[in-house]
Amino acid sequence: MVKFNVKAFAILGFLLLVMRADLNFVERMELIFVAQLHTAFPAPDPLPENTVITVAVDEKSIDALGQWPWPRSYYVKLIQKLREAGAKAIAFHIVFADPDRMGEHHDQQLAHEIKKGKVILGWLGEGLSVTDNGEPKTYSDKLVMFNNLFESNINKDIFSFVIKTNAPIRNVDVIEESANGAGLLGMMLGSDGMTREVPLLVNSRLKLQPTFFTEVARVSQGQEQTFLETTSIGLKAVHISGDLVVPTNESGAIVLKYRPYNLKNTVSALDVFEGLIQDNVFKGKVVLLGATAPGIERSQYSPLGEVVPEVFFFSLAIEQVLSGESLLRLHTLKGIEIVILLLISVGLIVVFSRYPSYIILRIFVGLQVGLYGLSTLLFARYDLVFILSLFLFPC
């Protein structure tokens, strides 16, 4: 008969829960483990139809064409050349927040060129965070629609789940109004400063707004509207088209799956200007225009330990939205994790009181290896981030 020490039971359970609640400890362990998984199982190269070509405002472009920011006429020429080369959609990782210093007519010229179609702009927001939803609200499973002109008439319950942003910085009116789409240029940073989650929609001042990634996918697929699939606990998926459904977590975000940074799908803006690009490089492709030159670009560490331009993260995110293949880290799994932790706690108490130390060690090692293997399998085969093996660290 097993004899339980009530005090030991209570203390052990309490300590395990405290360690589980120590978000810094748990999150550090998760980030280390997930980084190892990214290294072991990097994202594959996208299919040709989902490949994003980055047109980089790089150092040689700045040296040849002049200081940043460039006049609007440069972007007019870039759009014209990319259209002539057969680009499916042209997305700007650049915000035209201020009127052109050479005069309003330059803004109008750019707007005129953008209005010819297939151009997506970005806008900025501050304070990306998950909304505090308080008590869960319920509503029936359904498809809901938000209008691509940045307005929404959706049941307000959905706002309690969606990531929020404040103080939007938009493009000059005449330019943004001419675009086929515009969305937030925003990603969620982890505690280590690395990009982890990518929201596909945001709550901006109680208006549900698409992000840059959603708008690029919508415009490139030739769709007028995007549909959101919801459940009683939040978002479930974003329907870009009949064939393209992107699963999301409850906040309407995806988790990036990384691959090593390379310049295989990057071309210099200068080469586009000078017509030095091979035939069919842009044909049928989404083109992302952004800065990589030192001094004007923003760099971040990736989970693979590389320092890469921010525009790389955006191209990777767009490709994974277009393919519908990204990682999932569901918030509801946290409840499952706590239940598993409690079960392990009880199991350990039973083991400690019944078996000698060498048996305990074997059980512990077996559990660790088994849970590590299961977590790895879920990541590699099902793109699911569920770090079961970490439960034994506090144990």
The pLDDT, as a whole number, for residue 135 is 34
Nearest to 12 by CA among 390, 344, 389: 344
Q: Token pair for residue 30?
A: 């998760």
The pLDDT, as a whole number, for residue 341 is 66
Q: Token pair for residue 24?
A: 């810094």
End-to-end CA distance of the chain: give it in Å, rounded.
24
pLDDT lower than 50: segments of the chain = 1-2, 131-143, 145-154, 393-395
Q: Token pair for residue 359?
A: 């048996």
Question: How far is the C-alpha of 346 from the C-alpha of 115, rounded, in Å?
Answer: 64
Q: What is the pLDDT of residues 275-333, one digit of tens each?
A: 888 888 999 999 999 999 988 888 888 888 888 999 999 999 999 999 988 887 765 56
Question: How far is the C-alpha of 156 from the C-alpha of 338, rounded, in Å?
Answer: 30
- What's the burial of 160, exposed, middle or buried (CB within 10 Å: 0-12/13-18/19+)? middle
Q: pTM of whole model > 0.85?
A: no
Residue in the block written with tokens 């330019």: 175
The pLDDT, as a whole number, for residue 142 is 33
* Domain limits, the chain: 6-41+332-392, 48-323
The pLDDT, as a whole number, for residue 160 is 73
DSSP notation for 182-236: EEE---EE-TTS-EEEEESEEEESS-EEEBHHHHHHHHHTT-SEEEEEEETTEEE
Question: How far is the C-alpha of 37 from the C-alpha of 33, rounded, in Å?
Answer: 6
Nearest to 344 by CA among 16, 4, 3: 16
Angle (CA) 362 373 361, round 5°? 10
Adjacent-strand bridge partners of 201? 210
Question: How far is the C-alpha of 207 from the C-alpha of 222, rounded, in Å?
Answer: 24
Residue in the block written with tokens 């309690």: 160
Handedness of CA 367, 373, 375, 378 (dihedral sign): negative
The pLDDT, as a whole number, for residue 155 is 52
Q: Are strands 245-247 and 234-239 parallel, antiparallel or unpaired?
A: antiparallel
